[in-house]
Amino acid sequence: MISRYTLPEMGALWSEQTKFQKWLDVEIAVCEVHAQMGTIPRDALEQIKSRAKFSVERINEIEKTTDHDVIAFTTNLAESIGEASRFVHYGLTSSDVVDTANALLLREACDLLLPKIDALLDVLKRRALEFKHTPQVGRTHGIHAEPTSFGLTFALWYDEVRRDRERLLKARATVSVGKISGAVGAFAHLDPIVEEKVCARLELKAAPVSTQIIQRDNYAEYLCTLAVIASSLDKFALQIRHWQRTEVREAQEKFKRGQKGSSAMPHKRNPILSERICGMARVVRANSIVGLENVALWHERDISHSSAERVVLPDSSIAIDYMLAKMTSLIEGLVVYPERMLENLNATRGSIFSGQLLLSLTQAGVSREQAYEWVQRNAMTAWDEGGDLKSVVSADQDIAGHLSKEQIDRVFSLDTYLRNVDAIFARVFG
């Protein structure tokens, strides 16, 4: 991921330095288990642990000759360890190290993402409660539908992000799996107890069965989980972009002093963060397809997955980390215009109350079909002629013959539509 969208902690996690450190952690854990089981001498273990070090620059230099990064890594380790290096990588294949280290990286990536999800949940809850009783027109098909609460939008998003958190916790468990089972997963050179002990040291689960690699449905689940989270953020950002449209202007991204919206038009305040999040969501979703494509590999493995994973695992993790941080900041600083919401709510001059009018007429004994015809007739008249629906309805003899003035007043009351908001919030927030 380019530095523009990389936050420090997640960027450091996916650095070459951290990757090779995780490889070393795996190699050391294997050596510790071997020493415990008597496979290698204790003094050799102490030499390995005290002397083992690596240089990213040196590994890259060696790889120019070996064209194999793991061999370049172990060669560099041998340069610092000396004679005891013959016990490093004992009985292992490259993927034993790489995939087990990947489990450590992916688990830590989840551990960095989860607090950011929690921060987003906190701000969504706070803004939901802030605007719980702020009326706004609801829209379906982009057209004014019925009154709703602006806070309900944030409550809806909160509930979705809470599900995303559960998905990420499950994905964390799924990827926290190691394997030390050899070239085809058959433990030809190691006892399965080595794998169990190594994984226990690293606080990972041992794969019940593997080939040369951890099966890639695990990684696909992780990448698809990030894609779902990205889609949630995309959904939120798209809504904010609509609110910020000039014709709507119900809410907008905070525009700080000194910020510029356009190189040509000084008046512009554009929803740039929302648009950025929507764009990055496309990248994360596309990367999930790579994860799915990597599930099917030849026999006990080929290497077609490797090059793609070097891109999509760090890129998706870094992108979601950035997107979560930006969405949290965006919503926290969102500028809201309740007065404009009321203007928009009244823009159709009462037509949005037609649903309650229909129900009131049916309760008064009118058939649904007949009531629908009367309400639609009046709504179209008000819409086409620019009248107020309540006034038009009050003058309609068919409707006035079935509903009293008090009943009509209740039909056109916002309280009728928002009376259950507290109940919904109780279900969401407890």
Domains of the chain (ranges plus CATH)?
9-90 (1.10.275.10), 95-342 (1.20.200.10), 351-411 (1.10.40.30)
**pTM > 0.75: yes or no:** yes
178 and 201 in contact (C-beta within 8 Å)?
no
Write out the chain's pLDDT in tens, 430 residues: 889 999 999 999 999 999 999 999 999 999 999 999 999 999 999 999 999 999 999 999 999 999 999 999 999 999 999 999 999 999 999 999 999 999 999 999 999 999 999 999 999 999 999 999 999 999 999 999 999 999 999 999 999 999 999 999 999 999 999 999 999 999 999 999 999 999 999 999 999 999 999 999 999 999 999 999 999 999 999 999 999 999 999 999 987 777 777 667 777 788 899 999 999 999 999 999 999 999 999 999 999 999 999 999 999 999 999 999 999 999 999 999 999 999 999 999 999 999 999 999 999 999 999 999 999 999 999 888 888 999 999 999 999 999 999 999 999 999 888 999 999 999 999 9
74 and 28 in contact (C-beta within 8 Å)?
no
397 and 414 in contact (C-beta within 8 Å)?
no
Burial class (CB in 10 A: 0-12, 13-18, 19+), 406: exposed
Which positions are catalytic?
141, 262
